[in-house]
Amino acid sequence: MNLDLLKIANKKFKSRLIVGTGKYKNMQECAKAIKISGAQIVTVAVRRVNISDTSKPILMDYIDPKKIMYLPNTAGCFTSKDALRTLRLAREIGGWKIVKLEVLGDKKNLFPDMIETLKSTEVLTKEGFKVMVYCNDDPLMCKRLENSGAAAIMPLAAPIGSGLGIQNKTNIKILRNQTKVPLIIDAGIGQASDAVEAMELGCDAVLINTAIAKAKNPFQMAESMKYAVISGRKSFLSGRIIPNLRGSASTTNKGLI
C-alpha cells in the first residue's frame, strides 16, 4: 500500500498535523489533546517549557519523545543571536537537529523579522541543523530561505494566536507552486475549516497550538483538527472540478422523455 507520508528532512510521518505544547491548563491536558489529535510532531518552546529540570514537572514525563518527535523552537526570540543560542542549547540538551526557527520582529503582532530569520537560517544550516522556518508569506523571501537550505517553509496564515485563518490565499498558492520543500501553515489557524482550506491549497501540513489549547473543549477541537487535515489533504489529492460560473446538469440529455 502506497502511504501518503509527510517527509521532513530524513523523517517520515503519517500525520500532517503538528501540535504545539503551550497555553494548555496543565501538562496532563496537553498530553491528552495531543494523543487525541494523532500528531506525531510537537513543538517545544525551549525557553518556556521545562525539558531538563527534573525537580519540576517535565514535559517528557507526559509526552514520550520516543513516540512523538519533539520539534524545539525559538519562541520568544527577537534576535538572531538569541535564536542561535537557544537552538544550540536544544542540541546540547536533547541532541535535536531538526528544529523550528522563529525570530520575531515585534512584541505586539509577533510577525517574523525576515532579515534576522534569513541570517539565522544560513548559520544553522551550515552547522548541520535541519531548519523548519516560521516566516511571512512573501514568495521572494521564502525562496531565499529555501535556497539557503531550509528543511521546511512555514508561512503564517495570520498573526500568532489570532485565529483569523488564512488571510492571503493568493500568496499561499504562489508558494505552493514554487516551493520544493515541505510547505507548512504556521500560526493563525482558528477552526477546523481553516485547516481544511490550508490543506486544500496544497500545503503539506499545518501547525496548530492556540486553536486547540484555548478552545472551550480542547479535546474535541484536537479531534476536529485531526480529521480536518485528513479531509483537506484527500480533497487536494482528489483534484477538484474546474470552477464554472454556469450551471451543469448532473445527468445528460440523452434519452429524455
List, for residues 106-115, the tens digit of each pLDDT value: 888 899 999 9
User: Given 7, 32, 100, 143, which residue is catalytic?
Assistant: 100
- Number of Cβ atoms within 10 Å of the Cβ of 207: 27
Q: Which residue from 159, 256, 238, 255 is spatially nearest to 199, judged by alpha carbons?
A: 238
> Is there a catalytic annotation at residue 214?
no
The single-letter DSSP state of residue 11 is: E
- Specify the pLDDT at position 90: 87
Residue 52: its pLDDT value, please?
64
Strand partners, 104: 112
Q: Given this model, what pLDDT does residue 48 score?
A: 65
Give every CB contact of residue 33 below 8 A, 6+ residues apart in sequence. 19, 24, 212, 213, 218, 219, 221, 222
The predicted model scores a pTM of 0.89
151/185 Cα distance (integer angstroms): 14
Q: What angle do CA 223, 21, 207 make, to 5 degrees?
A: 60
By C-alpha distance, which of 81, 73, 145 is closest to 110?
73
Ranges of residues in the chain with a pLDDT under 70 are 1-2, 47-53, 252-253, 255-257
Nearest Cα neighbor of 51 from 21, 81, 13, 12 is: 21
Question: What was the pLDDT predicted at 235?
Answer: 95
Q: Which residues, at least 6 apart from 236, have a Cβ–Cβ distance to it below 8 Å?
A: 199, 200, 201, 202
CA 27/CA 49 separation, integer angstroms: 10
Write down the pLDDT at residue 50: 65
Alpha carbon 188 to its chain's center: 10
Alpha carbon distance 140, 157 (integer Å): 17
In the CATH scheme, what is the code of domain 6-238?
3.20.20.70
CB atoms within 10 A of CB 54: 9
Residue 100: the pLDDT is: 95
Q: Grid coordinates 480533497 are at which residue?
A: 235
